[in-house]
Structures are given as C-alpha cells and as structure tokens.
C-alpha cells in the first residue's frame, strides 16, 4: 500500500458526538468518515451531485480493518482510489491515516453498484464514469 497511489484524499476531525463511552471514536463513525470521503470522490472525480437521484450508485459491500483507535484530538486523512472497475460495479479502496504522522488507522474496501432508482435495478456503469475514473487514477483499477 503506497499512499502515492491514492490521488484523492480528504481530512476529517472527529466530533465529540463521534465518541463512545470510553472516549474512542465509535467503530460505526469510521464508516461515516469513509462515506464522507466517498461523496467527495464522487463529486470531485465523477462530477456527481449530492441529490440522491443524482448519485446513481449504491453501496453493496463494506469491509473494514480497524487497526488503531481514534480519539477526539486526532485528525485523519482518508485516501481513496478505485481499485476495481467492472461492468456494473466498482470497488473503492480506502486508507485512513493520522494527519500528523501518516500512521495507519484503518483500511477498507467498498463495492459500489451503478443503480437506476426509477427502475429499481442495477445498470451498466456509464462510459463517462469509466473514462473519468481511468483518467484520474494513478494506479489503474483492475478490470475484467
């Protein structure tokens, strides 16, 4: 895992509301942070708006490895890249690091499926999305 392969990143500072009873960031909030990074990637790389009907994709799988706890004082960088690009779906790989020293906090993968909300079914990824992803990524995603 080389951070240089992750062109997109965003920075997040935990809020008091993110903490559990022992003062750690609750594990569910990690996924919220990944969601925030995913929305930024979709907006900045794919040009997708923030209205639900503009998005055209849904999360079908999330896998996350929690490697160290976060506390209120910690600021993290979330690095995102497309690691796999299929006909109807793609995977986003995430690396969360401490902003102060790039210490690894967590790693995750989310599988996204292109989705037609009116027909309530999956659809092919648009050629435009495929092109935008391939043009943007430093390390090209795996493809069938």
Domain ranges of the chain: 8-136
pLDDT level of residue 47 (50, 70, 90 thresholds):
confident
**Residue 1 pLDDT:** 65
Would you tell me how many other CB atoms lie within 10 Å of the CB of residue 104? 14
Helix (H) or strand (E) holding 142: none
| Beta bridge pairs of residue 60 | none
The mean per-residue pLDDT over the stretch 104-128 comes to 94
- Rounded to whole angstroms, the Cα distance separating 64 from 110 reads 9
**Global pTM value:** 0.93
Whose CA is closest to 113, among 79, 131, 87?
87
For the domain covering 8-136, report its CATH number: 3.10.129.10
Whose CA is closest to 82, among 136, 27, 15, 12?
136
Residue 49 has pLDDT above 80, yes or no: no
Average pLDDT, the chain: 94
Whose CA is closest to 95, among 111, 109, 84?
109
The mean per-residue pLDDT over the stretch 14-41 comes to 96
Residue with more model confidence, 140 or 1:
140
């Amino acid at each position: 895992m080389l951070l240089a392969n992750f062109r997109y990143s965003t920075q997040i500072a935990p809020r008091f509301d993110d903490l559990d009873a022992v003062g750690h960031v609750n594990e569910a909030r990690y996924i919220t942070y990944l969601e925030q990074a995913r929305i930024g990637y979709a907006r900045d790389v794919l040009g997708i708006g923030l209205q639900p009907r503009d998005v055209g994709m849904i999360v079908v799988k999330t896998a996350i490895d929690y490697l160290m706890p976060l506390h209120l004082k910690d600021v993290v960088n979330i690095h995102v890249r497309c690691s796999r690009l299929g006909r109807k779906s793609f995977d986003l790989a995430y690396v969360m690091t401490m902003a102060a020293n790039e210490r690894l906090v967590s790693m995750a993968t989310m599988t996204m499926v292109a989705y037609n909300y009116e027909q309530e079914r999956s659809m092919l990824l648009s050629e435009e999305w495929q092109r935008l992803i391939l043009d943007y990524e430093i390390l090209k995603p795996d493809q069938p």
